[in-house]
RNA sequence: UGGGGCGUCGACAAGCGGCAAGUCAGGAGAUUUUGGAUCUCCCAUCCGGAGGUUCGAAUCCUCCCGCCCCAGCCA
């Protein structure tokens, strides 16, 4: 590894590259690419691939291209290419001037096809798609050769040219590679290279009516760009012989394809198909719904690029199918936000507290630390007054054994303020607690008692007369089960969507320092979790998303008993 | 009785013939004006199974078992 050694953990792909560098396989170059198809939004599975491709390039002082794999005009849209570029950039990667499109190479692909025809390695086939399927054979039975397989080169050349000229309708003919209809690898049974598609392309417009297939286009694209290591997911392992076949037959520069296992995350879905169902079925509010594991969803949820990159690093890269515990992702965002998010007090489910021995009209300002992890972030003033709100969950009229918070007759600390003792509980006609009467100890201002007496709990609070109103959206796992396919017979993942994945709280009270929170701003609401201002915040309306809860020992204790 | 992969702690994942890293989760404790953070300790005598080679195997060989992917003119 020597000078190229990175401080980050290695993996089998980096090991291969290190070895290739040692043997000077590519003249010391490392050049990767991230090749999304612009037919949907990127998700955290793509983030793994992006971090791998761009990360490896960076580690070895190489380059990584961004390439749109846009060979199918019927599925792809410009809207997606812009979103993809934004997501990759947001993740922190730079493709500099190397933004490419497979469609840039359409002319070159065509020339290569002509060359293969001339070599007798490709032919125009008139079989319909149904017939092609029948001729292909099955997993256990070999296929049959197409009756058009041995057309003379001249006839193939003529037909292929006329395919391009638009003389034939969609589906009437294809250009196929002449390989081996008896191969155990079905991909080698004369795969289709070109299909006729009279459809406009988002970049080439109406110029083409024949479009190359993935297997044919991808390897040549890699070759044209001088890619050294073409990293893709496991399901393409079977395609590698074909990747190699085209490049060998064309006798052009030959990158190597390496496959790794795609990311699966517990309690969520990870496929375009499923994301589309969620969006179109109205189960979520869009591709950037904070419950979605799309990059845009995570961004809106409050995840940072740093956390996602760190996550990608921690999960590793290997060839074994696996499901990563979503708790690891949560750990990564907590770790990041703990260091950088300002602490602030917000009461999500308010319970009114009147401090009976506190003056009616003498609000005061108390000093609060912005981030105990980082003194450099300073302090701020928080207003305190006779009427405050505390969290409903922080009071229990009949506290269980391990409950340390407020209860009748019990003393607790209000963070940065005073010790208070509950002296009275006021209920409505339904018996629900609607207000607490407490006394405070003026000697404990700031939160310390001069006599050294201890309290077991510290509560966050917000002064009623100074409180900001806000809407807070609490998110939970999208699914009720770790595996989206663990469903009853005949049902799909939509049957296990967590009905509690979104809870909207509209009566939340925030400390006044949050007045100017701008969308994307991230905070720790003390004792509640990390939150970020949602784009729906506008004018005077504040809307926050809960990114993730804090680690909650109390919840764990409750769960146990 | 097709082809290609993969099986190491609850979840990821190192290990590449010398006697099982690390991380998350979980547990115990210290500390704490967030039941947060931090710190300490515990958590695979065992590497899908069975044989074999070897002084010595998770690592090599053989057989078996299990899981994933492939029959789009999708990528």
Would the Cβ of A107 be found within 7 angstroms of any atom in strand B?
Answer: no
Question: Which 330-369 positions of A have CB less than 7 A from strand B?
Answer: 331, 334-335, 338, 343
Tell me the per-residue pLDDT of A337-354, one tens digit each, with 9 for 90 and over.
999 999 999 999 999 999
Tell me the per-residue pLDDT of A155-212, one tens digit each, with 9 for 90 and over.
999 999 999 999 999 999 999 999 999 999 999 999 999 999 999 999 999 999 999 9
Rg of chain A, C-alpha, whole Å: 31
Residues A482, A267: contact at Cβ < 8 Å?
yes
Which domains does chain A carry? 5-260 (3.40.50.620), 272-342+470-560 (2.40.240.10), 346-460 (2.40.240.10)
Predicted local confidence at residue A5, as pLDDT: 39
Structure tokens at A535: 């784009």
Q: Which residues pair with A470 in a beta bridge?
A: A508
φ, ψ at A58 (rounded to 5°): -65, -45
Residue with tokens 């392992």, as numbered in its chain: A237
Tell me the per-residue pLDDT of A148-163, one tens digit each, with 9 for 90 and over.
999 999 999 999 999 9
Nearest-angstrom CA–CA distance, A356 and A421: 10
Average the pLDDT over A347-364 and give the result.
96
Q: What residues contact A355, with CB distance under 8 A and at least 6 apart?
A: A386, A387, A388, A420, A438, A439, A440
List Cα–Cα distances, A121 to A153, A171, A178, A217, in angstroms: 9, 21, 5, 16
* Among A41, A38, A40, A32, CA closest to A14: A32
Q: Is A76 a catalytic residue?
A: no
Question: Which 405-424 positions of A have CB less than 7 A from strand B?
Answer: 405, 413, 415-416
How many other β-carbons are positioned within 10 Å of the β-carbon of residue A359? 10
**Marked catalytic residue, from A98, A108, A149, A262:** A262
Instruction: Give how far the C-alpha of residue A334 lies from the chain's centroid of Cα atoms, to the nearest Å.
Output: 16
CA of A338 to C1' of B39 (A): 17
Residues A164, A203: contact at Cβ < 8 Å?
no
DSSP state of A531: E
Q: Is A262 a catalytic residue?
A: yes
Which of the residue ranges A51-55, A527-531, A538-542 would you say has the lowest mean pLDDT? A538-542
Structure tokens at A532: 């970020």
- In percent, how much of chain A has pLDDT > 70? 99
Predicted local confidence at residue A2, as pLDDT: 33
CA of A184 to C1' of B3 (A): 4
Residues A479, A267: contact at Cβ < 8 Å?
yes
Return the C-alpha torsion angle A449, A452, A453, A455, nearest 10: 70
Would the Cβ of A199 be found within 7 angstroms of any atom in strand B?
Answer: no
How many other β-carbons are positioned within 10 Å of the β-carbon of residue A294? 31
Q: What band does A7 get if pLDDT is binned at 50, 70 and 90?
A: low
Q: What residues contact A109, with CB distance under 8 A and at least 6 apart?
A: A212, A216, A217, A220
Predicted local confidence at residue A54, as pLDDT: 98
Tell me the per-residue pLDDT of A105-124, one tens digit each, with 9 for 90 and over.
999 999 999 999 999 999 99
Helix (H) / strand (E) element for A83: namely helix A78-90
Residues A325, A560: contact at Cβ < 8 Å?
no
Q: Is the pLDDT of residue A79 over 60?
A: yes
**Nearest residue to B25 via alpha carbon and C1':** A327
Predicted local confidence at residue A538, as pLDDT: 86
Residues A60, A103: contact at Cβ < 8 Å?
no
Nearest-angstrom CA–CA distance, A364 and A354: 15
Nearest-angstrom CA–CA distance, A531 and A442: 33
Q: Which nucleotide's C1' is closest to A192 (Cα)?
A: B73
What sign has the CA pseudo-torsion A393, A398, A400, A403? positive
Would the Cβ of A553 be found within 7 angstroms of any atom in strand B?
Answer: yes
CA of A266 to C1' of B26 (A): 18
Bases of strand B lying below 7 A from some protein CB: 1-8, 10-16, 21-27, 33-38, 67-75
Average the pLDDT over A57-68 and give the result.
98
**Marked catalytic residue, from A29, A85, A121, A272:** A272
Would the Cβ of A19 be found within 7 angstroms of any atom in strand B?
Answer: no
CA of A123 to C1' of B59 (A): 48
φ, ψ at A422 (rounded to 5°): -80, 120
Q: Which nucleotide's C1' is closest to A338 (Cα)?
A: B37
Which of the residue ranges A313-322, A417-426, A483-492, A546-555 would you say has the lowest mean pLDDT? A483-492
Ranges assigned E (strand) in A323-418? 342-344, 346-347, 350-355, 364-369, 379-384, 387-391, 411-414
Return the C-alpha torsion angle A389, A547, A331, A316, nearest 10: 180
CA of A470 to C1' of B12 (A): 38
> Percent helix, strand, coil in chain A (nearest 5)?
35, 25, 45
User: In the β-sheet with A502-510, what is the strand arrangement from edge to edge?
Assistant: A342-344, A522-525, A529-533, A543-548, A468-475, A502-510, A346-347
Question: Which 154-183 positions of A have CB less than 7 A from strand B?
Answer: 170-174
CA of A529 to C1' of B31 (A): 22
Q: Is the pLDDT of residue A4 over 50?
A: no
Residues A498, A479: contact at Cβ < 8 Å?
yes
Q: Is the pLDDT of residue A545 over 80?
A: yes
CA of A11 to C1' of B31 (A): 38
List Cα–Cα distances, A472 to A16, A500, A503, A537, in angstroms: 48, 14, 8, 11
Predicted local confidence at residue A361, as pLDDT: 87
Instruction: For A219-273, give the secondary structure using H, E and C.
Output: HHHHHHCCCCEEEEEHHHHHHHHHHHHHHHHHCCCCCEEEEECCCCECCCCCCHH
- In percent, how much of chain A has pLDDT > 90? 96
Q: Is the pLDDT of residue A6 over 60?
A: no
Q: Is A272 a catalytic residue?
A: yes
Residue with tokens 């209809």, as numbered in its chain: A181
Number of helices and strands in chain A (H, E):
13, 25
CA of A215 to C1' of B73 (A): 13
Would the Cβ of A551 be found within 7 angstroms of any atom in strand B?
Answer: yes
């Amino acid at each position: 590894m020597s000078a190229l050694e990175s401080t980050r953990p290695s993996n089998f792909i980096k090991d291969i590259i290190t070895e290739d560098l040692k043997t000077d396989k590519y003249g010391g170059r490392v050049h990767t690419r991230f090749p999304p198809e612009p037919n949907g939004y990127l998700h955290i599975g793509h983030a793994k691939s992006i971090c791998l491709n761009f990360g490896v390039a960076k580690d070895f002082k190489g380059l990584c291209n961004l390439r749109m794999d846009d060979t199918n005009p019927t599925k792809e849209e410009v809207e997606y290419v812009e979103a993809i570029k934004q997501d990759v950039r947001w993740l922190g990667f730079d493709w500099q001037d190397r933004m490419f499109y497979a469609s840039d190479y359409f002319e070159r692909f065509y020339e290569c096809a002509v060359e293969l025809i001339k070599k007798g390695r490709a032919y125009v086939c008139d079989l319909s798609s149904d017939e092609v399927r029948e001729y292909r054979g099955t997993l256990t039975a070999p296929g049959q050769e197409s009756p058009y397989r041995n057309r003379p080169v001249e006839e193939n050349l003529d037909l292929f040219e006329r395919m391009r000229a638009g003389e034939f309708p969609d589906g009437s003919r294809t250009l196929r590679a002449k390989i081996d209809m008896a191969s155990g690898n079905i991909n080698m049974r004369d795969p289709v290279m070109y299909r006729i598609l009279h459809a406009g392309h988002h970049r080439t417009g109406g110029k083409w009516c024949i479009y190359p297939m993935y297997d044919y286009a991808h390897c040549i694209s890699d070759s044209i760009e001088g890619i050294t290591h073409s990293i893709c997911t496991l399901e393409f392992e079977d395609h590698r012989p074909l990747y190699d076949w085209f490049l060998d037959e064309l006798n052009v520069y030959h990158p190597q394809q390496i496959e790794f296992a795609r990311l699966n995350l517990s309690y969520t879905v990870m496929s375009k198909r499923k994301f589309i169902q969620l969006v179109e079925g109205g189960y979520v509010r869009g591709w950037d719904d904070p419950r979605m594991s799309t990059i845009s969803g995570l961004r809106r949820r409050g995840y940072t690029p740093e956390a996602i990159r760190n996550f990608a690093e921690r999960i590793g890269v290997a060839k074994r199918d696996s499901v990563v515990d979503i708790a690891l992702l949560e750990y990564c965002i907590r770790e990041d936000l703990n260091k950088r998010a300002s602490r602030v007090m917000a009461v999500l489910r308010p319970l009114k507290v009147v401090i009976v021995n506190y003056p009616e009209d003498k609000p005061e300002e108390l000093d609060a630390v912005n981030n105990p992890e980082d003194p450099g972030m300073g302090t701020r003033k928080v207003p305190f007054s006779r009427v405050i709100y505390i969290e409903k969950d922080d009071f229990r009229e009949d506290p269980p054994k391990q409950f340390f918070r407020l209860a009748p007759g019990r003393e607790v600390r209000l963070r940065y303020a005073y010790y208070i003792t509950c002296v009275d509980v006021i209920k409505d006609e339904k018996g629900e607690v609607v207000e607490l009467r407490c006394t405070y100890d003026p000697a404990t201002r700031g939160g310390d008692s001069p006599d050294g007496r201890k309290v077991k709990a510290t509560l966050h609070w917000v002064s009623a007369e100074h409180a900001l109103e806000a809407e807070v959206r609490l998110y939970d796992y999208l699914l009720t089960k770790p595996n989206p396919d663990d469903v009853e017979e005949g049902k799909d993942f939509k049957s296990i969507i967590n009905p509690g994945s979104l809870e909207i709280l509209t009566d939340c009270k925030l400390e006044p320092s949050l007045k100017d929170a701008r969308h994307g701003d991230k905070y720790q609401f003390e004792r509640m979790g990390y939150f970020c201002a949602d784009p729906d915040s506008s004018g005077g309306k504040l809307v926050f998303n809960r990114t993730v809860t804090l680690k909650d020992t109390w919840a764990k204790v409750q769960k146990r008993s």
